[in-house]
Amino acid sequence: MLHEWFELVLEKNKLMRYESELLIVARELELEDHQSRLEQKLREKMAVDDNLKDEMDLNEEDEIFIEMMKVVEERDKLVSALEEQRVKEKAEDQCFESIKLSRGYQLSGI
């Protein structure tokens, strides 16, 4: 019975990790799309001759660039969060493995 419980805990943890990873990847894809649209918009603005731009046009370019930098920073944070999550998961797995071995349970690799 306890053996089955350990198996269920491992499966639950695996599914929760997968869900968390999918959420991070989905957010990263949203940001990638947003960054791409901002880059396109900035290219269009910059294609106009500087002599034809007024102060508002220049400010818009600056705002787009600032927004792009924010998106890049957020994407970097997501990559870091995903890496931290993987390190934490590895530590949890090792801890769980230690508990399992100390009690003499042999679990299949999930």
Average pLDDT over residues 45-50: 93
- 55-105 per-position pLDDT tens digit: 999 999 999 999 999 999 999 999 999 999 999 988 988 887 787 777 765
Residue 89 Cα to chain centre, angstroms: 15
Evaluate whether residue 89 is within a structural domain. Answer: yes
Over residues 25-52, the mean pLDDT reads 96
Is 27 a domain residue? yes
Which is nearest to 35 in space by CA: 3, 2, 78, 1? 78
Q: How does residue 4 score in pLDDT terms, banded at 50, 70 and 90?
A: confident
Q: Whole-angstrom Cα distance, residue 62 to residue 78?
A: 25
- Residue 45 domain boundaries: 1-103
Query: Residue 71 domain-assigned?
Result: yes
Neighbours of 70 (CB within 10 A): 14
In 3D space, the residue among 1, 16, 25, 29 whose CA is nearest the CA of residue 105 turns out to be 1
Residue 36 falls inside a structural domain: yes
Confirm whether 17 is domain-assigned. Answer: yes
In a domain, 83, yes or no: yes
Q: From CA 22, how far away is CA 90, in angstroms rounded?
A: 18
Give the pLDDT score at 34: 98
- Residue 32 has what pLDDT? 97
User: Number of folded domains in the chain?
Assistant: 1
DSSP class per residue in 50-110: GGG--HHHHHHHHHHHHHHHHHHHHHHHHHHHHHHHHHHHHHHHHHHHHHHHHTT------
Residue 107 confidence (pLDDT) above 70? no
pLDDT for res 63: 98
Residue 108, in any domain of the structure: no
Residue 109 lies in a domain: no
